[in-house]
Amino acid sequence: MILTSLVLLSALGSDPLLSAGDSMSRGATAVYTITICEGVDYWVLLDAGSAEADFDVVVASKDMDFDEFMSLPYGEDFQYSLGFSIAQGRQQGSESFTLTAPYTGPAYIVIHDIGSTGGDYELKVY
């Protein structure tokens, strides 16, 4: 526990691998691509901008067909990405979870509004 806390605190002192902020409509989905390295632990943080906002996050593997994902309607795109999940955060409100990369290559971070308000968010990956 202490070692994990020290690792997380040191990660906050470094620049994130990904830092993005945006506003999402009710029921919308956003996707980001990152490159991961096998065996490396990543910390995924999604800060919902308000108490009413509720977003779920999935990190989908490189096996997800991006073109098929993009062709699906709202909601179905997120359900599709869950089938390729290598890590996820599905708590009420903001999310914080770790991903231990199972391979080296691209991964997709998919954010979906499951609340009834949409709203602002800030995503960081360390």
Give the pLDDT confidence of 65-103 residue by residue, as tens digits. Answer: 999 999 999 889 999 999 999 999 988 878 999 999 999
Query: Binning pLDDT at 50, 70 and 90, where does residue 114 land?
Result: confident
> What is the spatial distance between Cα 55 and Cα 71, in angstroms, rounded to a whole number?
21
Q: Is 15 exposed, middle or buried (0-12, 13-18, 19+ CB in 10 A)?
A: exposed
Residue 64: in which H helix or E strand, if any? none
Mean pLDDT of 109-117: 88
Query: Binning pLDDT at 50, 70 and 90, where does residue 12 land?
Result: low
pLDDT for position 116: 75
The share of the chain scoring above pLDDT 70, in percent, equals 90
What is the average pLDDT score of the chain? 88
- Where do the H-state alpha helices sit in 1-124? 2-12, 66-71, 76-82
Query: Binning pLDDT at 50, 70 and 90, where does residue 27 land?
Result: confident
pLDDT value at 6 more than 70:
no
pLDDT for position 5: 40
CA dist 32 to 9, 71, 106, Å?
Answer: 24, 16, 10
CATH of segment(s) 16-125: 2.60.120.380
